[in-house]
Structure 1
Amino acid sequence: MSKTSNNRSGKGGKALPALCNVIGTAILLAVILTFLPLTAPRYMGYEVFNVVSPSMEPEIPVNSVIYVQPVRPEDLQEGDIIAFHTGSSVMTHRVMKNQTVVGELTTKGDANEKEDISKVGYTSVIGKVTFHLPFIGGLMAIYASPIGKAYALVFAACGVMFNLLAGRMRARRRERLVQEMLEGKK
């Protein structure tokens, strides 16, 4: 039997597994990094909300994600931005007055001309907005939907599959090299 060059056991056999590994890792990182700003702060005591109305523009644009830290309502100052319950929804407005004697806040949206008619009772206060990320709210809305969660799972599964494929190709290459060595080939 004559010796022949086999590109699959040479450098060419390393490129495809490496490419699959890079693609798989990139996909997994993309999925993780899109969820990170939405989930990690919750473990640090923040609540995360998506801004859907323009009442706080330009300070906080629509589709921003706000991070709300619980605070004692009596400690809130004029100018603080807060999140609070209004019926079944959450509102984000600026504190104009804190009436500690009656336990109420007067609030106003930055884009609104007048203060809010309804006062915010201390029991409705969720907390103080400590920071926000513009445009991330769109991702939050997508991932909150069943179809968004399904897409995220499919993308993550694709990333895992690419990494598994890379590992399998490397294992086959090693098996082939061992077999060639045992048969006296180089």
Structure 2
Amino acid sequence: MDKWFRRIDTLLLLGALSFVLFFVMPAFFGIRPVRVLSGSMKPEIVEGDMVYIQSCREEDVQTGDVIAFENGNGQMVLHRVIRREEEGFITKGDANDREDFQPVSAEDLIGILAVRFPKGSWLYEMMSSKTMRRVLLLSGLVRIVVYFFRRFSR
């Protein structure tokens, strides 16, 4: 029984560490994990991919970079910069026929694509689900109870 408890405990601990490593720690470095929900950047970036967006300054963005920005509806968009004009960046999804309607201003710029994990959004969905958070919280509480029980029952 104790052997199985340790195995389950180890798996839960690895899950918690994975969550911190993939979704909490990047924020300390200005990196934001994002699930790709549309196919506008096919074939390079497809629905279900997981991308990490690095915050950046307007000056850091070059033609050809993939940037994340907020569109007029308040939604995050991930498109490629095709040129820079006075009004801002002109962007286009790789799979789209035309450029985006409005230039991306410095205020709307969220960041630049840092890393892409093909089909990685399943990990994000699993780790950020309410059920997983409850399991990780419960496992933490169990670890604390077991620690104190072992420490003070001798």
TM over 0.5: yes
Give the CA deviation at 1:160: 5.8
Unaligned runs of 5+ in 2: none
Residues 116-131 of structure 1: pairs in structure 2 closer than 5 A? 116-131=100-115
With the length of structure 1 as denominator, give the TM-score of the two structures.
Answer: 0.68
Unaligned runs of 5+ in 1: 1-15, 176-186
From the superposition, tell whether residues 151 and 77 of structure 1 become closer, same or farther in structure 2 (CA, over 3 Å): closer
- String of CA shifts for 1:82-112, please: whole Å, max 9, x gaps: 000012110000000012xx14111111111
From the superposition, tell whether residues 23 and 167 of structure 1 become closer, same or farther in structure 2 (CA, over 3 Å): farther
Task: Kindly name which structure, 1 or 2, has the bigger radius of gyration based on alpha carbons.
Answer: 1
Residues 122-141 of structure 1: pairs in structure 2 closer than 5 A? 122-141=106-125
Higher relative contact order (CA 8 A, sep 6+): 1
The answer to whether structure 1 residue 53 and structure 2 residue 34 are counterparts is: no
From the superposition, tell whether residues 51 and 62 of structure 1 become closer, same or farther in structure 2 (CA, over 3 Å): same
With the length of structure 2 as denominator, give the TM-score of the two structures.
Answer: 0.80
Q: Secondary structure at the match of 2:107?
A: helix
The one-letter code sitting in structure 1 at the alignment partner of 2:108 is S
Over the matched positions of the two proteins, sequence identity in percent amounts to: 29
From the superposition, tell whether residues 55 and 35 of structure 1 become closer, same or farther in structure 2 (CA, over 3 Å): farther
Q: Secondary structure at the match of 2:40?
A: helix
- String of CA shifts for 1:33-68, please: whole Å, max 9, x gaps: 145312211111112222111111221221222222
Residue from 73, 90, 97 that aligns with 2:83 = 97
Separation in 1 of the partners of 2:102 and 2:57? 20
From the superposition, tell whether residues 156 and 29 of structure 1 become closer, same or farther in structure 2 (CA, over 3 Å): farther
- The structure with the greater share of residues assigned to helix is 1
The one-letter code sitting in structure 2 at the alignment partner of 1:56 is M
Give the CA deviation at 1:133: 1.8
Give the CA deviation at 1:158: 4.3
Superposition RMSD in Å: 2.9
Separation in 2 of the partners of 1:88 and 1:46? 19
